[in-house]
């Protein structure tokens, strides 16, 4: 009888001890479990036996320490052939697991090219990447945030880095640099938009309101909510493993494009947030019209010169940071903290897009849409800046000089010298 009672006591104590171990283990690594469903699938699946570190190991009494082994732990889920889709199937009636299996089989469409990329295109990319590295190491060029580490970048400033875990891609989007079409590409590749349970494959059929809907894109600033204390480390793992790309354009031409799009067209949101401020401060309009329709009806909108005054006014950023459409690229995409693998220019967009999609081995999955819209041309710069005083142009160049130099755009001497 005593033996039986002692046995039951040992069973109870053993169970309590195991529960305690599970609680300790979950507290240490539980958040990482969420990451297990988002690995990259960087190439065609090749069957292979599980590596030794994935085989069952004897239990030890040491409390697990996830942080010390996190690189090895994450790497095993980033190896070729282990990837599953990032998104799970939406809730549905019937046999949900069966439908999920049918709809979300990982795509293995990586294209094998028998001919190499043209030497001049490879050299172009090498020059652009090398220039970024040299400028970031050049002490003679200083700008805010240049020398901080990636860990020092606030989470809110990581909202332009879109992640596609299916193909191992990170895209930093820059507004007014074909970002609408590149966002469409990312939606297609990540299969984040379904129609009748089938992923959307045609970029141009994706409505514009969905293209810019933040819920369609998984960005770095969302990592904290999903991964908690491991967010920053997982960002750095993905930055190391994934292909990172960015597209830029001449900084002054980008400003002209932003002005045309946001203030020469009817945009109620931008009129109320920005145009009314410009009209009151710089256009002698103490009580501007209440709506954009009223303003356009009487022919009132801020001039390009008013827009430049707004950018240079110290009061502007005391009230709020620059809007993304005219914020400097170095503030959006942190090129001195992130080593980009591909730097595209809008001026060579077609060649660069073809090269990039080929480099990503997805050029048979999706094509970059050609645009027929009225693009802002660099040859227009002189006409647009005619109304802007020379000293104001020089101040504006200083404000955007890092973008000019980081990405290899010539100093616009014709605008800065009389």
DSSP 318-345: HHSPPPTTTS-HHHHH-TTTS--SEEEE
Torsion of the alpha carbons at 318, 323, 325 and 331, rounded to the nearest 10? 70
Q: Are 77 and 36 in contact (CB under 8 A)?
A: yes
Spatial distance between the Cα atoms of 228 and 161, rounded to a whole number of angstroms: 18
Assign 10 a pLDDT band (cuts: 50, 70, 90).
confident
Torsion of the alpha carbons at 259, 265, 270 and 274, rounded to the nearest 10? 50
- Backbone torsions φ then ψ of 409, nearest 5 degrees: -95, 135
Q: What angle do CA 108, 111, 115 make, to 5 degrees?
A: 160
Per-residue pLDDT at 1 exceeds 70: no
Range in 123-132, 222-231, 376-385 with the lowest mean pLDDT: 376-385
| pLDDT in the model for residue 329 | 98
Looking at the chain, the whole-number percentage of residues with pLDDT higher than 90 is 64
- Report residue 1 as tokens: 């009888």
In sign, the C-alpha dihedral spanning 230, 232, 237, 242 is positive
DSSP 243-302: EEEEEE--HHHHHHHHHHHHHSS--HHHIIIIIHHHHHHHSS-SS--SSHHHHHHTT---
Range in 50-59, 92-101, 254-263, 289-298 with the lowest mean pLDDT: 92-101
| pLDDT in the model for residue 72 | 53
| pLDDT in the model for residue 369 | 87
DSSP state, residue 394:
H
pTM for this predicted structure: 0.76
Which residue did the predictor score with more confidence, 377 or 196? 196
For residue range 96-121, what is the model confidence (pLDDT) as tens digits? 333 333 333 344 455 666 678 899 99
Q: What angle do CA 83, 84, 85 make, to 5 degrees?
A: 125
162, with CB counted inside 10 A (0-12, 13-18, 19+), is buried
| pLDDT in the model for residue 15 | 73
For residue range 67-84, what is the model confidence (pLDDT) as tens digits? 444 555 455 445 443 333
Assign 195 a pLDDT band (cuts: 50, 70, 90).
confident
**What integer is the mean pLDDT of 398-415?**
97
Burial call 5-27: b when 16+ CB within 10 Å, e when fewer: eeeeeeeeeeeeeeeeeeeeeee
For residue range 252-284, what is the model confidence (pLDDT) as tens digits? 999 999 999 999 999 999 999 999 999 999 999
Residue 81: how many other CB atoms lie within 10 Å: 14
């Amino acid at each position: 009888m005593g033996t039986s009672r002692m046995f039951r006591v040992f069973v109870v104590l053993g169970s309590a001890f195991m529960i305690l171990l599970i609680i300790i283990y979950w507290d240490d690594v539980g958040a990482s479990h969420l990451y297990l469903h988002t690995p990259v699938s960087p190439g065609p699946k090749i069957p292979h036996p599980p590596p030794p570190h994935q085989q069952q190991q004897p239990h030890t009494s040491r409390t697990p320490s996830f942080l010390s082994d996190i690189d090895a732990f994450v790497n095993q889920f980033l190896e070729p052939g282990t990837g599953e889709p990032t998104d799970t199937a939406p809730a549905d009636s019937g046999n949900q697991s069966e439908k999920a299996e049918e709809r979300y089989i990982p795509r293995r469409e990586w294209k094998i090219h028998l001919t190499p990329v043209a030497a001049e295109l490879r050299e172009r990319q090498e020059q652009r990447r090398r220039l970024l590295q040299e400028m970031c190491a050049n002490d003679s060029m200083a700008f805010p945030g240049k020398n901080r580490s990636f860990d020092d970048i606030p989470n809110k400033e990581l909202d332009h880095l879109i992640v596609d875990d299916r193909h191992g891609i990170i895209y930093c989007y820059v507004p007014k640099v074909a970002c609408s079409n590149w966002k469409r590409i990312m939606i297609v590749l990540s299969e984040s938009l379904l129609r009748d349970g089938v992923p959307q494959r045609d970029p141009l059929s994706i409505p514009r309101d969905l293209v810019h809907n933040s819920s369609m894109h998984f960005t770095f600033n969302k990592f904290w909510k999903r991964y908690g204390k491991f967010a920053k480390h997982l960002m750095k793992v993905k930055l190391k493993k994934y292909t990172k790309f960015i597209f830029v354009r001449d900084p002054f031409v980008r400003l002209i494009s932003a002005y045309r799009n946001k203030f020469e067209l009817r945009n109620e949101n931008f009129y109320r947030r920005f145009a009314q401020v410009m009209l009151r401060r710089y256009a002698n309009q103490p009580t501007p019209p209440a709506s954009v329709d009223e303003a356009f009806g009487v022919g009132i909108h801020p001039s390009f010169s008013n827009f430049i005054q707004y950018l240079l006014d110290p009061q502007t950023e005391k009230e709020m940071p620059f809007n993304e459409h005219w914020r400097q690229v170095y503030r959006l995409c942190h090129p001195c903290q992130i080593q980009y693998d591909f730097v595209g220019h809008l001026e060579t967009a077609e060649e660069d897009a073809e090269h990039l999609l080929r480099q990503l081995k997805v050029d048979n999955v999706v094509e970059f849409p050609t645009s027929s819209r009225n693009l802002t041309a660099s040859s227009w710069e002189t006409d647009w800046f005619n109304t802007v005083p020379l000293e104001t142009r020089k101040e504006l160049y200083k404000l955007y000089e890092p973008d000019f130099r980081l990405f290899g755009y010539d100093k616009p001497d014709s605008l800065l010298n009389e």
